[in-house]
Amino acid sequence: MIQKHLAAVLSAAAVLGACSASVAEPAADKAVLPANQLNSHWYADAEKVLQQAEQRQVNHKRGAAKNIILFLGDGMGISTVTAGRIFAGQQQGKSGEENLLSFERLPYSGLIKTYNTNQQVPDSAGTMSAIMTGVKTRAGVLSVDQNVLRGDCAGSRGHELNSALKLAALDGKGTGVITTARVTHATPGATYANVAERDWEYAAPKGCVDIAAQFVAFQPGNGLDLLMGGGRRNFLPENFTDKEGAHGKRMDGRNLVDEWKKRYAGGPLRAHYIADEKGFDKLDSAHTDKLLALFDPSHMHYEADRKNDKAGEPSLSQMTAKGIDLLQKHKDGYFLVIEGGRIDHANHAGNAYNALNETAEFARAVQVAMDKTDPRDTLIVVTADHSHSLTMSGYATRGNPILGLVVGNDAHGQPQEKPELAEDGKPYTTIHYANGKGYADLGDETDADARYDMPTRAGRIEHADVDTTAPGYHQEVLVPRDGETHSGEDVGIWARGPSADLLTGTHEQNLIFHVMVHAGGLLPE
């Protein structure tokens, strides 16, 4: 239908332009478009996209989504997605630009505005609170309204907001949170806790309850069914050292792991606590009703560094598969939040390698969810809470290593032999950051956080004998800071399933809550 319409329009245009010497009338037995145009794979691919779009039928009925999976790439701005797409493609031996990350293949997409009520450039606490509660709020607070000043314990009481995860639990759905960060960090914390300060992970002022303790006390659904990630130290007393050598941080003497176990001891629910990859591999999802998995004292390792953990830990995609297996037993469906938390941390460290590698693993986790669910009854939403100052620039030739020095084209459009030189006579990389700690050459070091132990080095450097594609290369920056900052531009959102098309266009971040609640029927009409 589209081709016939296009042919008719072009034929009419050709007839109208027949008198012009610059427009030749096509012969009767010739196609309106030349063969080299019609036979181009670019043309054929675009035609397929249009045909697929014509066939989409979206169910807008309230409650049509039995299951909801929210993927949150922390700090995964548009520039990180673009560079991550190329990085992942080049890891597969392709030029990279033509590649698509798994979630970019979802049928609906849009843009999300990320500002907090008090900040033009946001933080993760305020943004995730908007996503989970439907109400924008201040930076630094979790699931309380904008009238609460950051750190004001007394002022936060009576201003708590209910999250979509809590509504799902009240509705009888299974609930879970998976993250590669600490499970008490801002993004996962906003799903189940209400605090005036995101840093109250293991301690809070008198009259308020810290984030870890709020998880153990979470009531709807008799507690979350699943919590997987890092942050073990925030559940253990400061005088306690576990078998992996993790020292507790709690000053109240409470062992929240033991309290969580006692909550379900002797009851009908089969609850399991695991702290390493061995326990993860042995876990039988079919015979697990409640799961607490704390794989690291703090954040989980970067994907590139994951195997260096002596106790071992699963990948984000492995946790995603296990989480869906565990929750899909619920007859009323489930609500699952999955965070790729370390994309953000690598960007803060100014280390594009780990930011892009974490993005690639995040995309693999989304693919797992796509493969294990049915779009007729499962809404999958993929987005970010905010962006970063990572930029791609320079006129690098097609297929140039995304982490490499810029090699441009000559006057004929062919790749040059040597990297381009800037006005200062030095080569430069395609990716750099607007601010942060700046350049460092740590070679094969896979832990991006190692950069924080080194002095700040902003500005331009000589790149002789420096492998900019190595895991330990940290990009140059313009503005020196103790760490790279978030940025304020819109982030992408991709979705499939019931009501997914409601997320197309440009929207405020808090709309995501309303679409998920509508699709899941989590509130009355």
Token representation of residue 445: 């070091």
Sequence-distant (≥ 6) Cβ neighbours of residue 147 within 8 angstroms: 155, 159
Strands 271-274 and 334-340, how do they pair?
unpaired
**How many H helices and E strands in the chain?**
15, 17
* Inter-residue contact 92 to 112 (CB < 8 Å): no
Q: Would you call 124 a catalytic residue per the annotation? A: yes
**Rounded Cα gap, residues 480 and 473, in angstroms:** 17
CA angle 18, 22, 25 (to 5 degrees): 35
Q: Is 153 exposed, middle or buried (0-12, 13-18, 19+ CB in 10 A)?
A: middle
φ, ψ dihedrals at 272, nearest 5°: -130, 140
Helices 511-520 & 124-133 angle (0-180, nearest 10): 30
* Inter-residue contact 77 to 346 (CB < 8 Å): no
**Rounded Cα gap, residues 355 and 342, in angstroms:** 7
From 79, 102, 124, 389, active-site residue: 124
**Rounded Cα gap, residues 389 and 353, in angstroms:** 15
Nearest to 387 by CA among 353, 429, 433: 433
Report CA Rg, the chain: 25
- Judged by DSSP in three states, 378 sits in strand
* Inter-residue contact 203 to 304 (CB < 8 Å): no
CB atoms within 10 A of CB 154: 10
- Judged by DSSP in three states, 392 sits in strand
From start to end of 74-204, where are the E strands?
A: 108-113, 174-182
Which residues belong to the active site? 124
